[in-house]
Amino acid sequence: MKKYNVGLIGIGAVGTEMVKVLRQRNFPINELRVLARSERDEEIAGETLHVVKACPEALEGLDFAFFAGTEGAKGASQQLGWEAVKRGAIVIDNGDDFRMDPRVPLVIPEVNADALDNHIGFVANPNCSTIIALTALGPLHRAVGIRRFVAATYQAVSGSGNSAIAELEQQIQQYAAGDPITASAYPHQIAFNVLPQIGSEKPELPGFTSEEAKMLFETRKILGSDTIRATSTCVRVPVFNGHSEAIHMELESPLTPEGARLILEEAPGVQVVDNLEKGVYPLPLNTDGTDDIMVGRIRKDDLFDNGLALFVAGDNIRKGAALNAVQIAEELISRQAE
């Protein structure tokens, strides 16, 4: 089997998870080269790796370059993404700098792998909440068409990076000790609270945040439809890892909950967890470290014609970022072999 020189740019929560995923899936690596702001040795996912300073010259000889910045982080792919392409690498970018660039496919392999056919060396990972939603909604859209949907997201602090994880831990300890609770990663206390703002206000959608805008614009690009209407309220919750979303949709054609379950049970990357009577439904705690998106609470929604409602949960650092990026590379390798 051919082996590849792999570059990993960024070693935060997503970069660390990418190392785990690459090893667990036996990705055919000849060399794993880790790049960051400064040269040093780092223990990453249980192994000591030498980190080299990120610069254009450090990209030479790479076959794949994974940009693993935390969601919202700016700079690395803007600075070095197209430099890597110029040097012969295929870039897979977890950041949001190029998602809506018409040159760049925005890909969830289980949903729109065909978008890779026309790549020019640069592929973008969608936002974590978009991946978790559309892994489930994509099969329903293919089957009957989705006209519009409303989503409320419940997003874990890991989506903000390691500093936010540490802050939630610290605030829980402060609360238990009866100490004053301090906040720096977020503008308000996150422990025992919810924050109905993720990102800054989006000028194109007054009153909506950048995270909420991503759900609309990325959905349209991934599903290849400019007519789908989507709106969301994105909320940060005191969960360490695992995003959840309540989704209510209007379909183009009638579909019973039973029919939806059958479609989703056959869908790649989806696990149906749906028995309300027995208290069985998706829980973010149960998605931690898992590959699949869990779907449950599937039911008719009388608010819409042809209405359907469901609840999804997934590991936002794994499938919502690291795993999806590695799956894109695997799909590209598979297509090269055909």
Residue 207's DSSP bridge partners are none
The helix (run of H) or strand (run of E) holding residue 220 is helix 210-223
Helix axis angle, 128-144 relative to 257-265, nearest 10°? Answer: 110
A 10 A CB-CB count for 38 gives: 8
Name the phi and psi angles at 128, rounded to 5: -60, -45
Place of tokens 């019973």: 256
Residue type, 40: R
What amino acid positions are annotated as catalytic residues? 128, 243
Query: How many whole angstroms separate alpha carbon 217 and alpha carbon 219?
Result: 5
CA distance 326 to 25: 9
Q: Position of tokens 């819409």?
A: 304
Residue in this structure with the two tokens 């090269």, named with its chain if needed:
336
Q: CA–CA separation, 317 vs 324, rounded Å?
A: 10
d(CA 52, CA 34): 6
With contact defined as beta carbons under 8 Å apart, do 328 and 105 qualify?
A: no
Q: CB-based contacts of 173: which residues, under 8 Å, 6+ apart?
A: none
